[in-house]
Amino acid sequence: MSQQPDKKPETEEDLERKKKKEEKAREKELKKLKALEKAELAKLKAQQGSNAPKKSAKKNVKREADEENPQDFVDPDTPLGEKKRLSSQMAKQYSPAAVEKSWYAWWEKSGFFQADAGSSKPPFVIVLPPPNVTGALHIGHALTSAIQDTMIRWRRMSGYNALWVPGVDHAGIATQVVVEKKLMRERCLTRHDVGREEFVNEVWKWKTEYGGTILRQQRRMGASLDWSRECFTMDEKRSKAVTEAFCRLYEEGLIYRDLRLVNWDCGLRTAISDIEVDYTDIKERTLLKVPGYEKPVEFGVLTSFAYPLEGELGEIVVATTRVETMLGDTGIAIHPHDKSNGGPEFAGMPRFKAREAVIEALQKKKLYRGAQNNEMRLGLCSRSNDVVEPMIKAQWYVNCSSMAKQALDAAMDDQNRKLEFIPKQYTAEWKRWLENIRDWCISRQLWWGHRIPAWYVTLEDDEMKELGAYNDHWMVARNEEQALAEVKKKFPGKKFEMLQDPDVLDTWFSSGLFPLSVLGWPDDTDDLKAFYPTSVLETGHDILFFWVARMVMLGITLGGDIPFRKVYLHPMIRDAHGRKMSKSLGNVIDPLEVINGVSLEGLHKRLEEGNLDPNELATAKAGQVKDFPNGIAECGADALRFALVSYTAQSDKINLDIQRVVGYRQWCNKLWNAVRFAMSKLPDDYTPPPTINLGTMPFSCGWILSVLNKAISKTVMSLNAYEFSDAATSVYSWWQYQFCDVFIEAIKPYFAGDNPAFSSERSSARDALWVCLESGLRLLHPFMPHVTEELWQRLPGVKSHTRKESIMICEFPSPMESWTNERVEYEMDLVESTVRSFRSLRAELLAKQKNERLPAFAFCQSEEVAEIIRSCELEILTLATLSSLKVLLSGVDEAPAGCAFENVNENLKVYLKVHGALNAEAEREKIKSKMDEILKQQEKLKKIMNASGYQEKVPTHIQEENATKLAKLLQEFEFFKKESERMESEAEQRK
């Protein structure tokens, strides 16, 4: 969207006025189109010699307008959870807000989303990747939701016992940070000030108040999750699963405690695992922003300083990238009573402030010896972006070696492959990572999370009393009572104190159990028996190892089988320019703002409520002005879903352009109006036929059912292959290019008045219309649930025909073998090519009189083509807006004089009679261009056919194809040569 630099930002009032003006313009345009449509149909009816009584179209239109009651087009209010109450008349324009209202609450209350563990249907199970309890819906969640709901609705309609489990992750670090900030903001207290128990209570209070936001937003997306099975990773059942998993893994020797070098995050004050560290390569002196420091910190520098030797015997120069750590140096001999060692004046300083202070002190003591560029690798915490410190600490670890091998074999064993990755490219990454896996550090020095089920025993006669001093004093147990019993058994008669490990488990540990724990593990529940392993995991490729690998390892070890059969990894979403979404760039897209629409001022306000500094805020606002000068139009959930699913063809990144979403919202309007037109041809008491008699149907009706069949087959095939973009394209193409653009236009003559000559065609067209609408809406439903439900509910006769209350519990369309008709499709392809050529001529010749009907000719090279054009004359006249069409046959008829022509293919040329003098020069130029093009093709083909070894090396069927192509090109060239000569002759005669 281009920016107009001199244009002032529009206010909400401006936008509202503009919106009303646009709506009025659309209504005006719709009226014009209707009037035009009636005029065209009247002309066509007259041309076909209709005997139907004539009526005044103008009077009818006026009377209809006078009789309209605006309230008839407005949906009455629907009580929450009840079936939506629809207006008596379809609204004239599609409104996402109006259409998407009320359906979801009714679906949920009706139990349409619930799976039954006792069902005999085959199961299809997905678990929703649990979003953070702190989170609000972002565009990545919206993509996940759109893809997964498409899958689950399709499978539900296809006869599966479809289960989609919602859940929320307690998000240890993220949630603790949010509540710590809240405490500081509201009460000026740290968590240490209030103590562990009160702090955890504060977190639970926060979770109760704010934790459900993201799941409420999922409902707005139309996500058909089974809310009866909603879970939270720290609820009672999930906590029981975490404790059981830890204990079993410990008992099997897969969890152990060890003193090792860990990655320490100074800001979060906790250890993090290896894969939570992102490394950045620094080539030279570089200033980086570090959390907690106002000024950027210098990296990529090797600092040299001197240790003076006693007795003025010289000095030893040491070089380091971490000069602040010299305070702990022990490798240089120092007098034990020298109190200047250790630098007490630096105690308590943050590490990078200490760095500056130490350099300053060294300079004062004249011990500083300079700095030089130094290439280095810096570890940053992926969660906080803080610089990670290596520290020696005792932590709990999971031994991953044997589990990783099982997870690798599941995907790589050609004889018994249990796990498939889509796209396949991620199989290689899976192999690379699991072959080089390290043991997993699962301790976190946090207060919010699953407390580690291990108790440390301090015996009265222990020499060392600090926690963890003796590794064999740890008791891993399912509860304190069991731990106490174990201690008494291990240390009989001893006096002791027992304290639970204050650390909590890594959040990914509980997330890794999710497919098991949501189904009731470790209990042998009906859900676990019916739904484990699940069918497919759909998530972003960025958490392939954080989450997917750990689920597979824990699923095999604890659940006895892999947790899912397929892993579909969706691309990461970027902005329209391919940039990563970032608050500081102002390019973060909130799905709810796309669904509901937002002004530019509204976008700015969201930025102002964030925590950007003034410079970042200015940059972000400028980015919004450039990308969204008029804000974001209201698109609705259906259009957003369809756009996101359509984008999945892009490999590992999606460059999301909001204008594409707006385009699908406009397409919803086209769909709405096409259905509205079609419904006007179906009486309220219309009864769908039990079967379709294709033998008596007009050509266009047989064709639309045949291509609908093809669209159904292609959609099902694409969905089965997890090619969601192809599936969306198949559905869209049928609705847009075949149903709306061709079929609806082609059948209009049957409904122009009540011409008895078209009585049979009218009846067949009604039946074909109804079948197309009903099947087409079911085909589209998994992608666009709201608009399809609303339109399906309005179809006459739909309840008696399907005996279903909602489209979402109807059967997904299946191909009907009897509908396929390749011959009819071939003929319609020729008709469409002919129409395109006529339209091209019209656009070229008719400037102002665009809707004027002109006489036309079809010059056929064979009787077969001539017969097709004759039999489809009505369709061509209608679609190409012609007054007449005469079919001419080469060898029998001459090409018409004084006409503009267009080449359809080697067997068909079309001519359009123009008023006044034809631009002969332009026509001759067109012919010359065609001849030049044919000559180039001939030369290219001859070069191939005359190449050395062609007869011996090229397969016979290809040689035959090339010979046929050459013959057609020669025939084409001869035709254009004659046309050129004819035009020259006509020009001479005019002289």
DSSP 781-813: TTTSHHHHHHHHHHSTTHHHHH--S-GGGSPPP
Tens of pLDDT along 333-356? Answer: 555 555 555 677 888 899 999 999
| Cα(244)–Cα(520) distance, integer angstroms | 12
| Cα(99)–Cα(791) distance, integer angstroms | 9
- Give the percent of the chain with pLDDT over 70: 90
741 with 657, same domain: the answer is no
Q: Could you tell me the two tokens for 651?
A: 């490999």
Tens of pLDDT along 400-430? Answer: 999 999 999 999 988 889 999 999 999 999 9
Tens of pLDDT along 711-746? Answer: 999 999 999 999 999 999 999 999 999 999 999 999
**pLDDT, the chain, mean:** 88
pLDDT at 287 over 70: yes
Closest by Cα among 526, 513, 602, 595 to 553: 513
Mean pLDDT of 186-197: 92
696 with 816, same domain: the answer is yes
- Which residue carries 């003098």 as its tokens? 917
Is residue 868 domain-resident?
A: no
Task: Choose one of 374, 404, 421: the last residue of a domain.
Answer: 374
298 with 318, same domain: the answer is yes
- Give the percent of the chain with pLDDT over 90: 62
| Cα(238)–Cα(229) distance, integer angstroms | 12
**How many CA atoms within 13 Å lie on the side-chain side of 412?**
15
Residues with Cβ within 8 Å of residue 515, at least 6 apart in sequence: 127, 532, 533, 534, 537, 551, 555, 559, 563, 564
pLDDT at 4 over 70: no
pLDDT at 32 over 80: no
Q: Which of 48-52, 261-265, 770-774 has the lowest mean pLDDT?
A: 48-52
Q: What is the per-residue pLDDT for 330?
A: 60
Q: Which of 265-269, 388-392, 440-444 has the lowest mean pLDDT?
A: 265-269
Measured between its terminal Cα atoms, the distance across the chain in Å is 53
pLDDT at 929 over 70: yes
Tens of pLDDT along 358-391? Answer: 999 999 999 999 999 999 999 999 878 899 999 9
Is residue 783 domain-resident?
A: yes
693 with 796, same domain: the answer is yes
Strand partners, 632: 598
SS3 per-residue string spanning 699-718: HHHHHHHHHHHHHHHHHHHH
Structure confidence at residue 44 as a pLDDT band (50, 70, 90): very low
Structure confidence at residue 212 as a pLDDT band (50, 70, 90): confident
Closest by Cα among 815, 813, 738, 729 to 776: 813
Residue, of 945 and 716, whose pLDDT is higher? 716
Closest by Cα among 69, 98, 67 to 85: 98
pLDDT at 111 over 50: yes
Q: What is the per-residue pLDDT for 17?
A: 59
Distances (CA, A) of 563 to 250, 515, 567, 602, 913: 21, 6, 10, 43, 69
Is residue 416 domain-resident?
A: no
Closest by Cα among 833, 787, 835 to 807: 787
Q: What is the per-residue pLDDT for 23?
A: 57
CB 797 within 8 A of CB 686: yes
Mean pLDDT of 31-42: 48
Mean pLDDT of 772-777: 96
Residues with Cβ within 8 Å of residue 514, at least 6 apart in sequence: 127, 130, 167, 233, 551
pLDDT at 888 over 50: yes
Q: What is the per-residue pLDDT for 847?
A: 62
Tens of pLDDT along 834-885? Answer: 999 999 888 877 765 667 888 999 999 999 999 999 999 999 999 999 999 9
| Cα(836)–Cα(740) distance, integer angstroms | 16
Neighbours of 371 (CB within 10 A): 18
647 with 719, same domain: the answer is no
Helix intervals (H) in 78-138:
96-99, 103-109
Structure confidence at residue 977 as a pLDDT band (50, 70, 90): confident
Mean pLDDT of 286-309: 91
Helix intervals (H) in 647-698:
658-680
Q: Could you tell me the two tokens for 493?
A: 């008669």
Is residue 913 domain-resident?
A: no
Structural domain boundaries enclosing 944 = 919-991
If DSSP codes are grouped into helix, strand and coil, which group holds residue 131? coil
If DSSP codes are grouped into helix, strand and coil, which group holds residue 368? strand
pLDDT at 990 over 80: no
Q: What is the pTM of this model?
A: 0.84
637 with 707, same domain: the answer is no
Q: What is the per-residue pLDDT for 28?
A: 54
725 with 656, same domain: the answer is no
If DSSP codes are grouped into helix, strand and coil, which group holds residue 343? coil
| Cα(643)–Cα(592) distance, integer angstroms | 14
CATH number at residue 761: 1.10.730.10
Distances (CA, A) of 784 to 287, 351, 503, 636: 49, 54, 46, 10
Rounded to a whole number of angstroms, the CA Rg of the chain reads: 37
pLDDT at 2 over 50: no
pLDDT at 975 over 90: no
Is residue 890 domain-resident?
A: no
755 with 642, same domain: the answer is no
Is residue 7 domain-resident?
A: no
Burial of 226 (0-12, 13-18, 19+ CB in 10 A): buried
Is residue 552 domain-resident?
A: no
pLDDT at 277 over 60: yes
639 with 768, same domain: the answer is no
Task: Choose one of 757, 788, 820: the last residue of a domain.
Answer: 820
**How many CA atoms within 13 Å lie on the side-chain side of 339?**
1
| Cα(541)–Cα(140) distance, integer angstroms | 11
Q: Which of 183-192, 562-571, 646-655 has the lowest mean pLDDT?
A: 646-655
Residue, of 387 and 897, whose pLDDT is higher? 387
| Cα(965)–Cα(925) distance, integer angstroms | 25
| Cα(896)–Cα(911) distance, integer angstroms | 7
pLDDT at 10 over 50: no
Q: What is the per-residue pLDDT for 974?
A: 78
CB 92 within 8 A of CB 27: yes
Burial of 46 (0-12, 13-18, 19+ CB in 10 A): exposed
| Cα(555)–Cα(382) distance, integer angstroms | 26
Distances (CA, A) of 359 to 294, 300, 303, 349, 389: 19, 16, 9, 14, 20
Neighbours of 635 (CB within 10 A): 26
Tens of pLDDT along 489-513? Answer: 999 999 999 999 999 999 999 999 9
What's the structural domain count of the chain? 5
Structure confidence at residue 50 as a pLDDT band (50, 70, 90): very low
Task: Choose one of 820, 845, 867: the last residue of a domain.
Answer: 820
Instruction: Kindly give the pairing relationship between strand 534-540 and strand 564-570.
Output: parallel
24 with 63, same domain: the answer is yes
Amino acid at 869: I
**How many CA atoms within 13 Å lie on the side-chain side of 843?**
7
Helix intervals (H) in 681-784:
699-720, 724-733, 744-746, 759-780
Distances (CA, A) of 215 to 128, 156, 239: 11, 21, 21
DSSP code, position 491: S
765: phi then psi, degrees, rounded to nearest 5:
-65, -40
CB 481 within 8 A of CB 519: no
Q: Which of 53-67, 579-593, 772-786 has the lowest mean pLDDT?
A: 53-67
| Cα(674)–Cα(517) distance, integer angstroms | 47
**Cis peptide bond prior to 533, omega within 30° of 0:** yes
pLDDT at 323 over 90: no
Tens of pLDDT along 607-644? Answer: 888 777 788 889 889 989 999 999 999 999 999 999 99
664 with 712, same domain: the answer is no
806 with 687, same domain: the answer is yes
Q: Could you tell me the two tokens for 978?
A: 């004659």
Is residue 879 domain-resident?
A: no
Tens of pLDDT along 77-97? Answer: 999 999 999 999 999 999 999
| Cα(829)–Cα(819) distance, integer angstroms | 17
| Cα(18)–Cα(573) distance, integer angstroms | 31
Q: Could you tell me the two tokens for 365?
A: 């003591």
